[in-house]
Chain A
């Protein structure tokens, strides 16, 4: 697995450089200028670094969820829907809830994790009960989540949350909140669970050699169900931190595809939570630098979206066809 994985990172890098350069040349910009503008846009000032870390945080939650699912042999491409479900629950509850921060914030985050977890568990249930392919199930649940969100809020966004429900900022006057610390802590916890615990051991066995795992007394259906639930909870928690920390409301456009980019983040990070954290930062640079690049070098930010799309397509395709 590790050989394929490190090749994943190399492929992703190659796509960024080659694809990015070609796109910039087509746009009539020298690739050197374009990439420079991208890096300056992402890391050029403390404000920009903070915004890059905001994107990093929003990517890291779903990426950890996708990592967990992958390690159990489940291809969860539904992190986007799970993130929306989590954000929706946090947003709907948040606009109705007024209480002290110490109660409201943990409650909203837990509600978000629960929302995402239920959304992931739905796919897990379909897989565990009916052996439904989780790729198809999660893909369709993405669409259902987006449509359900639009239906439930009956507009484009919820009313804003009371400031007592906002996540505390990590750097004053930026949108960077303690959500980053939470995500980092969860990366360490996930790494420990996967490497050192009985549950992690069983989950990896189910992913690496399902028939062997079954014969070793591991209940594959149960493992799939709970893994998908936990995977969804990570993404849902991410959605809740966007609602409580970044937008202070639920908005239908709260995610520019974090749940999909998370797949690339997880694969580039070799499915190791700590490397995934590094990968999330790299993708955070791309995500945030795109805005600066458009302004400074006149390269459309869609170039970055296209690059990310290409990475997701190539890396997921490699996974899918390896089986």
Chain B
């Protein structure tokens, strides 16, 4: 049951005991604090933060294509139609930056891997973190440099033609290099920085295609379990240096998105990066240990792309409000905590609608 909101401030019982309530607690106790402090003057933008799911129709077509029951042109028509629909949905929900949803991407790394010289892919599938999805592991077999870059492999340029603010999501250099198998470089930093240089070239090409916002996803900066030992400070510094080398000269165009792990231990370093925004996964991050003033935009992963229930917009808005009391940020962006492809498309779209509604509630409560 969704609680009714009024414009009055309702003083919660026990709200100070915890920074984030479950939706259950939230709805049961009707503890909703909807008046903000005087400093709140933001209307959070909403953004896609990863690969969007394919519809059941498209899924069936791609399966049929694999069984040689459907031609590729039929599949392509459906890909285009769904991309158009997703663009339309984002616009109707008030998104400022439009993404094509990367519906055709088979995994988060492959498109970049296939645009690099020195990288082979195709012999080995690895699990994408702790999900039930897989990626083709890039095999580094030679010195890495940017290869043939066809922007059409990265985004649906034709379908985004009318959009001024285009966003694309790419793996960051640290995550890409961490998830690759290195068979060439003797020293890891050489691999990492060659990936960064090559990505800079990819980004330059995509900038020419009108992309104005680049999200570099860096889950490996915060995801711990696949490591036997916690990455040391020097490794984090190395990773951040590689990110700096990608974003140099155009820092205002970049968001560094972390997910699947707690961003708190490296938060202060993240906000020092010369980028427009930093993204954190609110379902993994220990927000109570964040306390910082920053001029950065914070992308809040505030809907869970790995659970099917659709978050209550009031809960999202209230959670964001509490976050902002904890961390004094310039601007907030509402997003999912990672790729929405982990839920069926209907649920993903409902989650986007919840974000949009939450943004209105957040703004309306000023």
Do they bind each other?
no
